[in-house]
Chain A
Amino acid sequence: MPVSATTNCAENETRNDRIRANEEVLIRRIQEGEKDLFLELIRPYQRTVYATLISMLGSKEDAEDVTQDVLLKALARLRQFRRESAFGTWLIQIAINEARMRKRKLRHGIMFSLTKGADDDGAYVPKDFADWREIPSEALERSEIRNALAKALALLEEHYRLAFILRDVNELSITETANILGITRGAVKTRLRRARLMLRDILSPGLQQGGEVGLAFKEARNPWE
């Protein structure tokens, strides 16, 4: 059975409702002057903002700097938060706008579009059919494995990468992802399909990609490491 985003759906909704209610209290208190509570408010979103920015900016250092700028900007703009979307989605929107602005500056004013890069609607044929041994959670303690995952993601074209980050890393819904990227739900699904299958091929066992062996294969060979 799939992992999916969809398992324990009702449970997730209850959890999200609880998180939202707690956030609402924090936001109100911060707006009333308890600004030191801001760190508590943004703590669950540091990673999602950072992941979004690294997928757009490429460098770890830039992504960390801009994440800090984005979070401080969010504090300054908290009064403008209209609650039309979840707080986390609002933060990601600020992050994407900030990254776009920086990229535009770097490219001397050339417009940068999130929808750039044509979606390939053609069928994607998986290149590898070997079984994956499930990678144990402890393996992710190793920076080598985490780096391999980051590297694999960097191999995707940006529009596939960003859709994947928003949906599968930041756990936004397909509709939220579509709204943020300004594309249709259908286009989000197309991008997700390619991103997921390409990542599976890059990381899967037995597949040579750019001279690197698939992640699962490495893991299978050295399970004791």
Chain B
Amino acid sequence: MGITCEEVWRDISDYVDDELDQKQRAALEEHFAKCRHCAAVLEGTCNVIRLYRDERVLAPSKGFHDRLRARLNQKLNQGADERFHPSRRAVLAWALASAAAVPLGFALFSAKRFILPGLEHQSPTGSPDSPAVKGLVAISLDANNKIFHIPSCPYLHGKLKFISVEEAIREGYSPCPICIGKRRPEKKG
């Protein structure tokens, strides 16, 4: 007993996609051999797919590629122009960045001034070779942040490395707000 036409219509699309098992496939093929209507449905379905797959169907109009090329060139030239003749927006961005750099530089310079005098009388019991005597700051190799501390800072933990303030700043480290932030330059006179 073969399968019915309704069963064929239900599975015909999966048949086209080869999504049926061998048994189901054989049953459909047996039906197509006998039923002219279902064979016509199959042929028509395959024709539909074949037609729509053709590159000429649902394709953009002829001038599309040239228009796209023109837009792309325009965009690329715009990018090159901006590199050589920065736009007003780029100039403004540079100006803002420069303006921001001044206070940042001042802050780093001040940090250095705050730290170095303090380090001179840090750790009075330290040996002449101790980091404090050399005017070094400490960074933790285990911490996830990029902060440098005076060597006695309670927030310093893990494996330590001692480097100069200049080096720390150069490497992108910021002063610890606890141990260094508390320090103020000594008033003179």
A100 interface hit (Cβ, 8 Å): no
A129 interface hit (Cβ, 8 Å): yes
A68 touches B67 (CB 8 A): yes
How close is A192's CB to chain B, nearest CB, in angstroms?
Answer: 5
B53 interface hit (Cβ, 8 Å): yes
- Contact for B16 among A4, A9, A43, A165, CB less than 8 A: A4
Q: Mark A153-174, 1 if CB is under 8 A from B, else 0.
A: 1000000000011001101001
Q: Which residue of B lies closest to A191 (CB)?
A: B13
Main secondary structure of the interface of B (DSSP, over half): helix
B52 touches A125 (CB 8 A): no
B178 interface hit (Cβ, 8 Å): no
- Contact for A141 among B42, B45, B56, CB less than 8 A: B56
Q: Mark B53-84, 1 if CB is under 8 A from A, else 0.
A: 11111111100110111011001100000000
In the complex with contacts A64-B64, A200-B48, A140-B54 CB distance below 8 A: yes
A5 touches B17 (CB 8 A): yes
> Interface segment, B4-12, B124-132, B135-143, B158-166?
B4-12
Q: Mark B96-139, 1 if CB is under 8 A from A, else 0.
A: 00000000000000000000000000000000000000000000
> Hey, which chain A residues are within 8 Å of B60, CB to CB?
46-47, 50, 63-64, 67
In Å, the complex CA distance between A137 and B16 comes to 21
B43 interface hit (Cβ, 8 Å): yes
- Contact for B58 among A2, A51, A128, CB less than 8 A: A51
B61 touches A168 (CB 8 A): no
How close is A95's CB to chain B, nearest CB, in angstroms?
Answer: 13
B13 touches A149 (CB 8 A): no
B188 interface hit (Cβ, 8 Å): no
Q: Which of B1-34 contact A (CB under 8 A)?
A: 6, 9-10, 12-19
B170 interface hit (Cβ, 8 Å): no
B46 interface hit (Cβ, 8 Å): yes
In Å, the complex CA distance between A195 and B130 comes to 81
In the complex with contacts A5-B17, A39-B72, A68-B71, A146-B57 CB distance below 8 A: yes
- Contact for B56 among A128, A146, A193, CB less than 8 A: A146
B19 touches A174 (CB 8 A): yes
A3 touches B18 (CB 8 A): no
A47 touches B55 (CB 8 A): yes
In Å, the complex CA distance between A89 and B59 comes to 18
In Å, the complex CA distance between A128 and B36 comes to 12
> Hey, which chain A residues are within 8 Å of B10, CB to CB?
123, 193
A96 interface hit (Cβ, 8 Å): no
- Contact for A38 among B19, B64, B72, CB less than 8 A: B72
> Hey, which chain A residues are within 8 Å of B52, CB to CB?
149, 153, 164, 168-169, 199
A20 interface hit (Cβ, 8 Å): no
Q: Which residue of A lies closest to B44 (CB)?
A: A200
> Hey, which chain B residues are within 8 Å of A137, CB to CB?
54
A189 touches B13 (CB 8 A): yes
B40 interface hit (Cβ, 8 Å): yes
A131 touches B56 (CB 8 A): no
Q: Which residue of B lies closest to A61 (CB)?
A: B61
B37 touches A129 (CB 8 A): yes
> Hey, which chain B residues are within 8 Å of A197, CB to CB?
9, 12-13, 41, 45
> Hey, which chain A residues are within 8 Å of B42, CB to CB?
2
A35 interface hit (Cβ, 8 Å): yes
B residues whose Cβ falls under 8 Å from a Cβ of A: 6, 9-10, 12-19, 36-37, 40-61, 64-65, 67-69, 71-72, 75-76
Interface pairs A-B: 8 shortest CB-CB: A6-B18, A193-B13, A129-B37, A3-B46, A51-B58, A200-B44, A50-B60, A2-B16
